[in-house]
Every structure is written in C-alpha cells, then in structure tokens.
Amino acid sequence: MHLKREKALWVYERMVLIRKFEDKVHDLFSAGKIPGFVHLYAGEEAVAVGVCAHFRTDDFLTSTHRGHGHCIAKGVEVRGMMAELFGKATGSCKGKGGSMHIADVEKGMLGANGIVGGGAPLACGAALTARVKKTDQVTACFFGDGGASQGTFHEALNLASIWKLPVIFVCENNLYAEASPVKYTLNVENVADRAAGYGVPGVIADGMSFFDVYEKAGEAVRRARAGEGPTLIEAKTYRFYGHFEGDPVNYRPKDEEQAYRKRDPITDFKQKVLAKKLLKADDLEKIEKETQAEVDAALEFAESSPFPKLEEILTDVYVNYP
C-alpha cells in the first residue's frame, strides 16, 4: 500500500517515540521512580501506528492496560503521559489515573483500561454516538489475546455486527496473557477465526510489519466509514518486555524472545522505506534525535511538576463529586 512521504515521516516518528518512551519508562521503573503498575508496548508499535495512520483526530480509540502506544499513536502528548505516570498534577489525568487510565478525549483517546475486555463495550458506545450524530467517525478497539476470551468482547462484536457499527476490533495477539500462552487459552488457531461466528470479516495481519497492518486496517477503516460495519483484525505481535515491569518472565523461551527482537517492527519499517527511497537516512536520524529530546523533555517536565493538592484528592475522581 502506497505511503506518502509526509505520512511515512509521521509513522516513523510515532513508532520511534513509542519505543523511546517505553525504553525510558522501563529504566525509570527499574530505578524505583514510578509508582504503581506499568505494562510496556515496545515491540507492538506497528499495530497501533498502522491503525491510527488511517485516523483523524476526531476518530475514537479504546485501549487496554498496555496503553501507552495507543495514546502516542492517537497523538496524546508524551509530557502529560510521563507526568501522569509520576502521579503529577500536570499529567493527562491530573496525576490521578496513572498508566492504566490515561485518557485524552480531545484527541479521541477514550482511555487505557485496567479491566481486560473493558474497552469493547465502550467502543460500541462511541461508534453508536457517531451513528446517531450521523458523523463518519470510526472507533478502534484494541485488546489482547487474553481479552479475546472475555464475554465483553463477544457481546460487543455481536452488537457491532447486528447494528453495523463503525468499529475496528484490533486483537493484539502477543502470544501470552500474563503468563498463559495462547495455545492454552484458545481452542481455535486464530482469534480472527472467531469473526465468522458474528458474520464479520476476520483478517490476520503481521503485527511486526507496519505495512501489513496499514493495508489491512485501511480496508477495515474504509468499510467502517462507509457504513458497512465492523471488522476483526488479529495482529500477530510480540511484547519485548515482560507482562508488567518487574515480571521475571520465566514462562517464555529466550530464543523466542530473540527471534522476535530480530523482527523489530521499527527496523523493518526503516529498511523498507530506505529500500523504496521513500525516506532518507538523514530523515530517520533527525527523527531519532527529536523523539529522544521529546522524551527527555517529558521526563524533566514530569519530575519538576508538583503533585496534586491534598484538598483536590477527590475532584475529577467521580463525575458528580461536588
């Protein structure tokens, strides 16, 4: 699928920004600087960016506990995200949500989610809103292979199929749900096979390849905008770090990890755009420097920001809190 230069620059910038953000958070967490739980998206960049490359700011996205990559792909500012991880008042959610609750409604990012499978009904709600308001906004619902066995996913896919809602269900099959391998949790070969039970297209994408995800997502977005209903895309991917930061990762073979590291989606993209002469080495280098500077500035911003005031501890936590 053809990519214009401007878009290719954006794709590389977003993928590298995600990686640099996650690598930095990995180090910060190890150094004991970040409270709470963190699940990193490194390795899966091509999925979020491959889908969001088709999106407008007013399109919607629902996310998971592994949400940083979805946020960045949807245009959420990394300084607010970093401050949120630090629990600071300048965070995307004023420091009261943390990693698993980053949201930025202005950007169409409806929220990371600590509830596995929790995003699917919300995605139907956003898509129904677009339908009622007669806009052509599309919603992407990201979830994992573990989330694919939650009741919420099945109910949402059924509802979206009968109402032809403009949702793209994107399963990030990274082979494990915590420590459980997919072979243990699925009795079908592919999550995409489940689409047949709901009469919607079930498409498999190579989640380590931006171009493959981009192409498959392109058709799903076209269908959704045209009112033809939802698509289930299963992106076969891999997380480079453990399930959560601090995970000793003693449940998956080291040679498997190395094999996937060799298929790094960022390296893959880089090689392809250079070979196609779509971008130059200088373009890529510039982006690598700028994204590193952006992450460093985000860290400085987060560290120098204040914590929320004690008297505001309950504001913004409940909608109707006085």
Ligand X SMILES: Cc1ncc(C[n+]2csc(CCOP(=O)(O)OP(=O)(O)O)c2C)c(N)n1
* Residues 88 and 307 sit within 8 Å (Cβ to Cβ): yes
Residue 98 binds ligand X, judged by CB under 6 A:
no
The residue count for binding ligand X (CB under 6 A) is: 16
Rounded distance, CA 125 to CA 221, Å? 17
Nearest to 111 by CA among 140, 136, 134, 133: 140
Q: Which range touches ligand X (CB under 6 A), out of 27-35, 159-167, 172-180, 270-278?
A: 172-180
Query: Which of 13, 44, 145, 264 lies at the binding interface for Mg ion (CB under 5 A)?
Result: 145
Residue 174 binds ligand X, judged by CB under 6 A:
yes
Residue 115 binds ligand X, judged by CB under 6 A:
yes
Q: Which range touches ligand X (CB under 6 A), out of 5-13, 110-118, 120-128, 295-303?
A: 110-118
Q: In sequence order, which residues have a C-beta less than 8 Å from that of residue 122 and are 6 or more positions away? A: 62, 110, 111, 113, 141
Residue 243 binds ligand X, judged by CB under 6 A:
yes
Q: Which range touches Mg ion (CB under 5 A), out of 7-15, 137-145, 186-194, 240-248?
A: 137-145
114 binds, among ligand X, Mg ion, none (CB under 5 to 8 A by kind): ligand X
Measured from the CB atom, is 142 or 214 closer to Mg ion? Answer: 142
Q: Which range touches ligand X (CB under 6 A), out of 23-31, 71-79, 169-177, 249-257?
A: 169-177
Residue 70 binds ligand X, judged by CB under 6 A:
no
147 binds, among Mg ion, ligand X, none (CB under 5 to 8 A by kind): ligand X
Residue 101 binds ligand X, judged by CB under 6 A:
no
Binding to Mg ion in span 170-209, by CB under 5 A: 174, 177
For 243, the enclosing helix (H) or strand (E) is: none
Rounded distance, CA 109 to CA 119, Å? 11
Q: For 60, list phi and psi in degrees, rounded to 5.
A: -110, 160
Measured from the CB atom, is 174 or 305 closer to ligand X? Answer: 174
Burial 172-193 (b: 16+ CB within 10 A, else e): bbbbbbeeeebeeebeeebbbe
Q: In sequence order, which residues have a C-beta less than 8 Å from that of residue 177 and are 6 or more positions away? A: 116, 144, 145, 146, 147, 185
Nearest to 291 by CA among 2, 21, 6: 21
Binding site for Mg ion (CB under 5 A): 144-145, 174, 177
Binding site for ligand X (CB under 6 A): 64-66, 114-116, 144-147, 172, 174, 176-178, 243
